[in-house]
Structure 1
Amino acid sequence: RAATRGLASLTLASLTINTIGKRSVRRARPALDQVPIVRRLGRQPITTSFPSGHAASAAAFAAGVALESPAWGAAVAPVAASVALSRVYTGVHFPSDVLAGAALGAGAAFAVRALVPTRAGSVPPA
């Protein structure tokens, strides 16, 4: 259930960010002048920078999992944080892109929870 909730959250976040988010802000990516060559990606992204889709997807999955199973959520949270931080480290996003993406991803997880309550939140039949 936790993985299914995480995937549903990731799907909602990804669809929203890549169709509405990136097209409405159209922020250019950071210049790579200050990023050492060894930290740069082999292939640079061609989409706009704001918000970070990777950070949104990672945060959505982790938050979705955590809403269903806090223990599993704690296990996947460091991976999600690593994905988000790597976007700044490699120079493809500004920190604000990543923070906004992570916030939108977490919001997607809560939206999924509003549509499909967690097992703990559902009321047992009388």
Structure 2
Amino acid sequence: LGKRSVRRARPLLDAVPRVRQLKRQPITTSFPSGHAASAAAFATGVALESPAWGAAVAPVAAAVALSRVYTGVHFPSDVVAGAALGAGAAFAVRGLVPTRAQHIPPA
């Protein structure tokens, strides 16, 4: 919904060194970052189940998000919005599906 409603163009690659540019540039609109959303949703979901594992995967999710700006395919605000949407989705699913800690074992 975000990409279709906002329709934000991707950043110009003029300032991004060629070595940092992706070989195949995305053709979809820029806002929000789907990669950042997916990474944040996964990391948040893992953290809700296991805080220790969540702390382990959080840097990987952050690296995915930062790489989108580093390669010039997203503006920083695209990545922040994507990460917020992803984390929000994880919390929304948590409200629908209880975590192991919230689950009451059968008697």
Task: Please indicate the TM-score interval, normalised by the length of the shorter structure.
Answer: over 0.9
2:41 corresponds in structure 1 to: 60
Q: How big is the shift at 1:123?
A: 3.6
Q: How big is the shift at 1:125?
A: 4.9
In the alignment, structure 1 segments of 5+ residues that lack a partner are: 1-19
- Cα deviation, 1:86-105, whole Å, max 9, x if unaligned, reads 00000000000000000000
TM-score, normalisation: structure 2: 0.96
Distance 2:40 2:50 in 1: 15
Identity %: 88
- Cα deviation, 1:45-80, whole Å, max 9, x if unaligned, reads 000000000000000000001000111111111110
Distance 2:5 2:47 in 1: 30
- Partner of 2:99: helix, strand, or coil? coil
1:120 corresponds in structure 2 to: 101
Distance 2:45 2:4 in 1: 25
Question: Which of 39, 50, 72 in structure 2 is aligned with 1:69?
Answer: 50
In the alignment, structure 2 segments of 5+ residues that lack a partner are: none
Distance 2:19 2:27 in 1: 20
Distance 1:101 1:31 in 2: 20
- Cα deviation, 1:8-34, whole Å, max 9, x if unaligned, reads xxxxxxxxxxxx111111000000010
Give RMSD over aligned pairs: 1.0
User: 1:103-118 counterparts in 2 under 5 A?
Assistant: 103-118=84-99
Residues 1:46 and 2:27 aligned together: yes
Q: How big is the shift at 1:124?
A: 4.5
Distance 2:5 2:81 in 1: 14
Distance 1:25 1:61 in 2: 24
Question: Which of 86, 100, 117 in structure 1 is aligned with 2:67?
Answer: 86
Number of residues of Structure 1 aligned to a counterpart in Structure 2: 107
Q: How big is the shift at 1:122?
A: 2.6
Runs of 4+ in structure 1 over 3 Å off: 123-126
Distance 1:53 1:59 in 2: 10
Distance 1:69 1:115 in 2: 18
